[in-house]
Chain A
Amino acid sequence: MSDASAHALDHHEPVTSTGIPNKKVLMWAFLGSDCMFFGTLISTHLIYRKISATVGGNTLDVRDIFDIELTSFSTFILLASSLFMALAVSAIHKGNLKSTRWMLFGTIIFGSIFLACQVYEFTHFAHGKENVNGDLEHQLTLSSYAGKTLEEGKDAVLEPHVFGSTFYVLTGTHGTHVAIGVFWLIGWFVYSFTGKMSTADAMDIECCGLYWHFVDIVWIIIFPVVYLMEYAF
C-alpha cells in the first residue's frame, strides 16, 4: 500500500476476528450456497435421466444429439482458463500489473471461447441435424426431442420430453455463471488501464478468482454427469 493511499480512510480497514478479509468470507459463504444451487439442478437432471428414458415408445439416445468432441474441447478451454486466472492472482500479489492485465485478458478470451461453444451447441441442438436426405432429426428443445426420421422427405417428429428441460436449464445456469464471471473479469481488465490498480486490489481479484475456479469445478462435475455418463451407462 502506497503512503498516499494509506491516508485517513484506509487506516480504518478493519482488523477482522479471523484475520481473513470480509470479502473473502462472503465469497466462501456464497460459494457454499452456490453448491446447493447446482446440487439441486444436478439432482433434478439425474433423477429424470433414467425415469424419462422413453416417451411414446421411443428410446432417447442423446448421444445422437451431443457433439462430444466440441464439448471436450470447450471443457479443456475452460479448465485452461483457470490457469490464467491463477497466474493473474499471483501476478497482482507480486504487484506485476502488466502481467495481471494480460493474464486477466487470457481468462476472458478462454471464458468467451467456452461461452461461444455453448451458444453454438445450444443452437445446433435446438435446430437438429440434417441427415443425408436433408431431413431434420435428433433435435432437442426445452420441452421436446426428435429422434430419427422414420420416412424420407419428412422431418423427425418432436415429442414431449424432460431431457431438454433439465439439460438446458442446468448447463444454461452454468453458462450464466461463466458469463457473469467474464463480465466481472472485463471490469477488472478495463480497470487495469485506469492506472488505479495496485496490490491493494489483490484481495478483490482473488475473490474473483475464487468464483472463477468454483465455476470451473462445477463444470468438472457437469461434464461427466451430463455428457460422459451417456456414453458409459
Chain B
Amino acid sequence: MATESIKYAAPDTETKLETKVFPRPGQHTSGIVDWLTTIDHKKIGMMYGLTALFFLLIGGVEALLIRSQLWSHNMDVLTNRQYNQMFTMHGTTMVFLVIMPLSAAFFNYLMPLQIGARDVAFPRMNALSLWCFVAGGLILNLSWFFTGGSPAIGWFGYAPLTDTRFAEVIGDMGPDFWIFSLQMLGLASLLASFNFITTIINMRAPGMTMMRMPVFTWMTLIVSFLIILAFPAITIALVELMFDRTYDTNFYDFLEGGKPHLWQHLFWIFGHPEVYILILPAMGIVSEVIPVFSRKPLFGYGLIIFSGAIIGFMGFAVWSHHMFTTGMGVVATSAFSILTMLIAIPTGIKIFNWIGTMWGGRIRFDTPMLFALGFITMFMIGGFTGIMHSSVPIDAQHQDSYFVVAHFHYVLIGGALFGLFCGFYFWIPKMSGRMLNESLGKLVFTLMFIGFNLTFFPMHYLGMIGQPRRTHSYNEGHGFETWNQIATIGSAILGVGIAIGIFQFINAFFNKKLKPAGKNPWDARTLEWTLSSPVREYNFARNPIIKSRDQAWENNYGAKENHSEKEPLDDHGVHMPDRSWYPLLTAFGLFVLVIGMLFHASIGPAGELVRDYTVAICGGTIAIFGIIMWSLEGPAGYHLFPKENEE
C-alpha cells in the first residue's frame, strides 16, 4: 500500500494554525474518523457510490413489490395507497438517490484524476455535498415512520395531489418529507456542481487544454452546468409548495386563484434537463470504454463533445413535451414537438460515433464492453420510443400508459444504469487495485440484460393495449395477465443480477484473493491509468505536463514528443489540506433544521395552531456555527514527500 513508500514529514509548526473547537483530525487519522472527516475526493466518491448502491437495493425492493402487486388481476399484495407510495418512493429514490449520486461518485473519483489535479477546487465543500446527500436520503426514507407514511404523490408531485385538503390521511406528512429531502438533495447537487465547474475550468494540469480532456470530464462539466441551471427551478417550485402547505399561500391552490398547471411547468423545466443530467454521465462513461476495448481512438471526439453540449442546451427547450395533453394550445405544442424531434439529432450523432469507433477495431468483449454495448442498443430502443412521443397525437395515445413506463426504463436502466455498471466494471480495478471476476461479471450482464428486457419489453405492448400506469390493479378480461407475469419474472432476474453486481463491487475492496490490477489492466487511454491502483492519497506525486489527448495510450505507444512529462519534485513536498469536522457538522445542522421545520406545527389545547421553531433555530444555529468555524479554520494542511520514482 501507499503508506509504506511515503516518508512522512516531521510535524511542522507552521501547519498548526489556530486552536479549534473540534480538534482537527491530523495527518495520521484512520478508521471511522477518517471517513467522517475526509475531504479526499476519492473517498468522498466511494462513499457517494456505496450510499447510492444501498439506495439502489431499497428502490429495487420497492420495484419488486410493485411488480408483485401487478402479477395478476386484482391482487392485494399492496393496498392502493401503499401502491402509490411505492411508485412515488421508487421513482424519487432511483432518480435522486441512485442514478444522480452514482454519477456523482464517478465525477468525484475520476474527474480530478482525468485532468491531472490533486483534488477538487473546494475539498471541504465536496464533503458537505456528500453529507447533505446522505441527510436528504435519510429524510426521504424517514417519512415511512410518520403520519401518513411516505408520500403518495408520484415522483413529480403534481398539484393538487400535494394540496393538504386532498390528503387521504389527515395531517399527511409524506409530501413535507418529500419536499425537504429534495431540497437537501438539490443543495448537495448544487454544491458538487459548483465545485466540479471550478475544478474543470481552473485546475487542469499544464497542457491539459479543454480539447484534450477526456469525454467523461467534458460530460461532468456539461452536467454540472445543467444542474446549476435546472435545479433552481425545482428549488423555487418546492419553496412555493412548502409555503402552500405550511403557510397557506395559494401558488398551486386552484380553489383560491392558484394554477396547478404552473407546478407542471416549473417541475419539468427542471425535470427535462434532469433527464440529461441522468444520461450524459453514462454517455461519458461509454465514450471512455468503447475506444479502450476497440483499441481505437474515439471516433469524432469533437463531435461527441459538441453534441453533448447541444443536448444540454436544447434540454432546456423541450420540457413541455411532458405536458402535451394538458391543453397548452397548438403553437406551444408544435414548437415543443419540433424541438423534441431536433434533439434526437445530436443523440444520434453520438451513437454513430460510438459505432464508428468500433468499426474496424479489434474488439475485446470484456464485461465493461458488454455493458457499453448493452447501453448503446438498449438506449437506442428507449430513444426510438422517445422520438415516437415527440409526435403529439402519438403522445396523446401513450400518455399515462405502460408504454411510457417502458420508454423511460429503457432510457434509465438500459441507458443510465447499464452505463454506470459499465463504469463500475471498468474503474473498480483502479479504485480497489484488484480485478473483478470476469465470469461473474459476464453472468451479471447476462442476468441484467435478459431480466431487463423481459421486464420492460412487454410493457410496450401492455401500454398499447391499454394498461394505465400508476394504477394499483387491473380487472380480469383485458388480457394483461400473461405479459405482466413475464415482466414480474423478468424483474426478479434483473434484481438478482443487480444484487450480484453490487456484491461483486463491494467484494473487490475486501477480497485479497482477487488478482491485482496493476496500473493499466485494460490498456486504457486516459490520464488516470498512468497512476498506481489504488490511486495514492495525493493522486500525482509530480504534476504531469500533458502533451496529447489519450495521454496514457500515447505514453505507451505514441511518438516521443507526445509522451507526458513531469514537473520536478517540490522540496516542500506535496501539500495536503487537513481533514475537517465542519462539513459533517454543517450538514447535521441542516438536518436538524429540516426536522425542526417538519415538526414545528402542532395543535394547541384550544385546537389552535401552535408554531414552535426551537428545534429549527437550533439546527440553523449549528449550521451557521459550522460555516463560521469552517471559514476560520482555513485549509491548513500537512506535507507528504513521495519518492523520486513514484507515480
Q: Residues of A at under 8 Å CB distance from B?
A: 7-9, 11-12, 14, 16-18, 20, 22, 25-26, 29-30, 32-34, 36-37, 39-41, 44, 47-48, 51-52, 55, 142-144, 160-162, 164-166, 168-169, 173, 187
Contact = CB atoms under 8 A, between A and B. Distances in A.
Give 4 nearest A-B pairs by CB, closest first. A160-B256, A36-B232, A165-B249, A40-B236
A22 B197 CA distance: 10
A9 B232 CA distance: 37
A143 B233 contact: no
B229 A32 contact: yes
Contact of A44 (B190, B235, B236, B575): B236
Given A9-B15, A29-B194, A162-B257, A14 B203 contact: yes
B426 interface: no
B249 A22 contact: no
Contacts of B248: 142-143
B12 interface: yes
B262 A8 contact: no
B202 A160 contact: no
Interface of B: 12, 14-15, 121-122, 190, 193-195, 197-198, 201-204, 208, 228-233, 235-237, 239-240, 243-244, 247-251, 253, 255-259, 262, 266, 269, 572, 575, 628, 631, 636-637
Given A36-B228, A36-B229, A160-B250, 16 more contacts: A12-B572, A14-B203, A17-B201, A17-B202, A17-B208, A26-B122, A33-B229, A34-B232, A40-B232, A40-B269, A44-B240, A55-B256, A160-B255, A168-B249, A169-B251, A173-B239
A12 B257 CA distance: 58
A164 B231 CA distance: 25
Nearest to B12: A8
A162 B256 contact: yes
B404 to A, nearest CB: 26
B475 to A, nearest CB: 41
Nearest to B200: A17
The prevalent SS among residues of A at the interface is helix
Contact of B194 (A30, A47, A142, A166): A30
B403 to A, nearest CB: 32
Contacts of A17: 201-204, 208
Contact of A33 (B190, B208, B257): B190
Nearest to B210: A17
A171 B11 CA distance: 52
Of B248, B250, B255, B266, which is in contact with the most chain A CB atoms at under 10 Å from its CB? B250
A173 B232 CA distance: 13
Of B194, B198, B259, which is in contact with the most chain A CB atoms at under 10 Å from its CB? B198
Given A29-B194, A33-B190, A40-B236, A164 B249 contact: yes
A55 B12 contact: no
Contacts of B255: 160
B112 to A, nearest CB: 13
B257 A169 contact: no
Given A160-B257, A164-B249, A37 B236 contact: yes
Nearest to B237: A40
Nearest to B631: A187
A40 B197 contact: no
B32 to A, nearest CB: 28
A162 to B, nearest CB: 4
A37 B202 contact: no
Contacts of A187: 628, 631
Contacts of B235: 37
A66 to B, nearest CB: 19
Given A47-B262, A160-B256, A9 B250 contact: no
A40 B244 CA distance: 16
Nearest to A55: B257
Of B230, B262, B631, which is in contact with the most chain A CB atoms at under 10 Å from its CB? B262
Contacts of B631: 187
